[in-house]
Structures are given as structure tokens and as C-alpha cells.
Amino acid sequence: MCGIVAYLGKKPAQPILIEGLKRLEYRGYDSAGVGLMNNGVIKITKSSGRISVLEELLEPINQAEVLGIGHTRWATHGEPNTINAHPHLDYTGKIAVVHNGIIENYSTLKTWLISEGCKFSSQTDTEVISNLIGYLYAGHNEKGTPTTGQNRFEWAVQRALNELVGTYGLAIVCADFPDMLIGAKKGSPLILGLGENEYIIASDASAIVEHTTQAIYMADNEMVICTSKGFHTKTIDNVEIRKDLKQIEFSLDAIELNGFQHYMLKEICEQPKALNMCLGGRLDHRDGRIVLGGLDKYWREITRAKRIIINACGTAWHAGLVGEFLLENLARINTETEYASEFRYRNPIIDDGTVVIAVSQSGETADTLAAVEQAKERGAIVLGIVNVVGSTIARTTDAGVYLRVGPEIGVASTKAFTAQVAVLAMLAIELGRRKHLGHDVAKFYIDELAKIPAKIEKVLTQSEQIKEIAAATCERENWLFLGRGFNYPVALEGALKLKEISYIHAEGLPAAEMKHGPIALINKGMPAVFIATKCSQYEKIIGNIEEVRARGGRTIVVATEGDENIGKYADFLITVPPAPEELQPLLTVVPLQILAYHAAVLRGHDVDKPRNLAKSVTVE
């Protein structure tokens, strides 16, 4: 969602803030702003639109401005305009705040603050935070006094945070303390980067990595106070805590375009390398077993599971659905894939023998995190499958597996999806081996899984051919994506990718369900994408293709390499190398990613910054 960058050090803050905000553009935003400390005055510059618009409004770099806060906003409360952009000053002009998250009791607090004489200029919930801190700092509420060693600014922040209901990642400055930067976290990610005589607070490591690889990951209800003399961390209840320093596990090179036109294309093409990283050291070919160190202490309980619930949202939900089919087929464990956004508000049945798996690229997805907390409250063992090291879900779950695919910048997830499927496949194979699969069968799947990255390389060579298909079809505004069995979730994912970045209405369906209503949509020339690889339902899906052709639809068919029969059913044909049916989604999804990418570019859209979308959905 929104992005935060804040800097305190010896260098001019403005270029560091702008550079950091650009690193966070992929998270999605509609406005941006910075606040710079200058001789006891906080200078606010902000605008709607892109960061390039903000840059044009900024004054020349001032070497003395070494403290500042910056923000990219994705609108929740209030229109995406300049007034609602962050930072937000309090009514006295002394406190400035940038905020990620949602304050649920902002309306009540705003009404009270107005009655106390505070002025508001925006429609945002964030302005409540700056005004509440400012009100307390000004001494209007003397309930309690600053703890010994605290200044009034720090005390006012703590007092205000204890009144907030909701989620926040915050960076806060005060005009009276030009040498102090405060950060706080609850439910929205926040990292402190430690450089040489400098500190960077950010919502994402990508905004820090150019300056330092040393970071502290803040936990909920924690705050950090930075000055030129050092920093200290404590709870919002003023209890001092010690945080471990972590190494950021990717380099600046990993978040550069490196010659690609877009991050999405780069990440599609990175999938062979990314999967090799994901699988590396985890496939024991000799003994026919899977090694997932993060689960070592829990294999006994997982193997005994009577039921597995996979919680996820969006693309991760589609990966979870593939995982459901894998776990039921290979491990013979009853598995359900739930939308985390629905699970969190239901009264789910979680009894003895239930294992819950949370799948999230960022590890910060608000709905998935809420589902994790609910599952833990009910006594389930909760596992996490996430990409971002140190993320909230990674820290909150009992155990888990990292994807290890490096940062994913493109809003439309690609390499994270294939890695999520690969991790779920490894989990299913190992559980199957421990329960009932013979050594040779387990070894077969392990050996086949190891071949997938090289097979994806072959699929990627068809990019120009797929671009021609996109050129011939992308003007149509309604598409169908159809698959069966293990490729049904791939149909869902293909449709989502096209919707996300091309703004084409697309519907993904099990192919057999088409005749139960959606077949009415088919008209002359309507594109219908079929995943029709060699599988147990091959003949059935051929029949589904015939039904579409009979009604004038144009068929784009993803088929198995060497299938000499399928061509006569396809207006456009894309092939993937042969693979076991259970592992085919790792291959069949790739041409659909490429198709969506080319369609979006041909339609003139910014594929890395699709409208209304954010990379990490950290609010409801």
C-alpha cells in the first residue's frame, strides 16, 4: 500500500527521501509528499500524481536539511488530491506525520479534537494522529507526565498511540526537536535501517538497501526514537526493549530493471533463476526426500494433520488452490483453500489435527495476518509461506518456509506465484513420502520438480509469438480462461493477470462449468484461453474447446509440446514442455503471464503501476 521513507543523518535529506519514494512506487500510490526540517520549521511539499510532479515543486537541495519524512499515499480516507497527501501537520504546525494503515476510531477522535479547538484541513484519518500528538504536546491534557529521561515530544507520541484503534506505520517529527525522528508500528510494516551516523525508517527494505544492509524490523506496538547520539526502541507503553540487527538479504541490483522495460517482464524472465533459488538445497535426490528446515520442529504434527486450511488472497489464493489439489492428491490430507478476507470474519471450525497455512508474498497482507491470528487463538498450528524475510506473518506463525525468490517489484505477481506453488508441491511430496508414497514415487516427483526451471526457460522463448497473439486479440474487452483439474487454478490466475494490468474483463472457470451459464457470453471473435495439456481430463477439455468454436469464439490453447492433435482446435497455439500433471501449473501459468504483459503494453498501460492497485495490501 502506501510507502514511508524518513531520514536523519549528516547528508541532505531531500534526495534520499525522493530516491526512497521512487523505490516504493511499486507498492501503488496516487499522491506523494515530503516534510523537511529547516531551522525549526517543517517545510511540507506535496502533490497528487506521480513523484515526478512532486520533484518539480521542490526547492533546490539544502545541505542543512538533514531530517525529513516522505510518503506515497494510496487513498483510503479522502480523495487522492494534494490536500489529503502526506505529510500531515497538526493544528499548531509543529508536528508532522506520515502514516500507513487505517485508524478505525478516527471519527470519534476527530469530533473530540474539534470540540477542543483543533483545526482540520483534510479528509484523512491520518490528520487525527498529528493533531492528537500536537494537542498532547501543547499541554492541553496533563494526565500523566513524561517519564524521567523522556522529552515531551516522545511522551506525547506514546500517549497518542495508546488512544488509537486500528493499524499504523508512522514516521513523526517535531519542529522543536530538529534532531529527533520517531517511528512506530502496529499492523503495518516498518523497518529501521542503520547506516554510518544515519538512520532511515521505511515501510520496505527496498527504500533502505542502497544506503545500508543493516536493519531492525519493528514489531507491533513498538516505537523507535532516533537522534544524532543514537537510537533506542521501546513499547508504546514505555518499556525499553532490545532488538536484533538483521541483514537485508538482497542487493540493490535485485531491484533495478537491468535492461528490461518493466519489472513485471524482468520478474517473468527471472522465474527459472528464482525457482532454482527456491528449490536449492531442498531437494534430496539421493534419499528421495524434501528438506525444509523451517518446518523441522513441526513435521510430526503436520504429518498427523487431519485437515489443512490454506489462507490467502488474490494470486496467493490461486497458488493455495493448486496446493490444495497437491496436498489431497499426494499427501491424502483433506485440504481447503479459504479467502483470508472471508475466513477472518467467519466462525471457522478448527479442531485438533488442523494445520493452517498462510500464503503471502509480502508477509504483510492484512486479511491473511488477521486469519493467522484467529487460527492461533483457536489452537491451530500455523505455518507461513512468505517471501519477505522478517515480515509480520513470518514472525507471527509457528513455523514456515521462505520463497527465496528475491524482491518482487511488479504489482502483478509472477515469480512469487510459481515459487508458492513450488513450496506447496515440496510440502505435499514430503508429507506424501512420510505417509504413504513409496521412495521411488517421491523421488520421481522430486526429480521432475528439479527440471521445471529449465522447462520454463523453453516457454520464455515464445514471448514474441505470444506478443503476436496478444496483438490479434487485445482489443476485445471480454475473455474467458478455462482449465480443468490442476490447471483450473491456472485459468483463474491467467484471468486475474489480464484484469490487473490490461483492464480487460476476464473470467476464469473450470472448463466443465462453462455450459452451466457462462457459455451464454460467447459471441463471434471472443477470446477463450484453454489450458489443454496432456492430462487425465484431456479428452474432456477438447470437447469444451469444440463448444466454444461452435459458437464463434477464438481459441488460444496452451498445450503440451509434441501434441500433434491439438492444433486443429486452436486459432492460436502455445506449447509447454511435458511434465507430470501435478506440476503442470508451474509451466502453464508462464505463457498466461506473458500474454497479459504484452496485452497491457499494446493497450498502452503502465504494467508496473496498474490503476487502483497496490503491491502489498496492508489495510482492509
By C-alpha distance, which of 413, 408, 420, 418 is closest to 357? 420
Mark out the alpha helices in 47-203 (DSSP H runs): 51-57, 106-115, 126-137, 152-161
Other beta carbons within 10 Å of 536: 10
Q: Is 535 among the catalytic positions?
A: no
- In the set 46, 234, 499, 615, the catalytic residue is 615
DSSP secondary structure of 486-504: GGHHHHHHHHHHHHHHH--
Give the Cβ contact number of residue 282 at 10 Å: 20
Element (H, E) at 547: helix 538-550
Q: CA geometry: angle at 214 spanning 412 and 244, to 5°? A: 105
DSSP 151: -
Strand arrangement of the beta sheet that strand 240-241 belongs to: 88-89, 95-100, 168-174, 177-186, 222-227, 230-235, 240-241
DSSP state of 312: E
Q: In angstroms, rounded to a whole number, what is the distance separating the alpha carbons of residues 13 and 51?
A: 16
Q: Name, in order, each residue with C-beta under 8 angstroms of 133's C-beta and a sequence gap of 6 or more.
A: 90, 95, 97, 156, 157, 160, 172
Grid-cell match 505417509, residue found: 435
Kindly report the number of other CB atoms within 10 A of residue 475's CB atom. Answer: 12
CB atoms within 10 A of CB 360: 33
Q: Which of 585, 591, 590 is nearest to 325 (CA)?
A: 585
Q: What's the one-letter identity of residue 585?
A: P
CB 422 within 8 A of CB 586: yes
Alpha-carbon gap, residue 608 to 220, rounded angstroms: 30
| Residue 406 DSSP symbol | -
Residue 369 CB partners (closer than 8 Å, separation 6+): 187, 358, 360, 392, 393, 396
* Catalytic member of 2, 278, 313, 535: 2
Which residues lie closer than 8 Å to 390 by C-beta, 6 or more apart?
191, 215, 217, 246
345: helix, coil or strand?
Answer: coil
User: What does the block give as the cell for 283?
Assistant: 531437494
Whether residue 2 lies in the annotated active site: yes
Q: At what angle do helices 463-473 and 585-602 cross, to 10 degrees?
A: 50
The residue among 491, 505, 318, 330 whose CA lies nearest residue 413 is 318
CA distance 404 to 361: 10
Cis previous bond, 87, omega within 30 = yes
At position 248, the amino acid (one-letter code) is I
- What residues are labeled active site? 2, 615
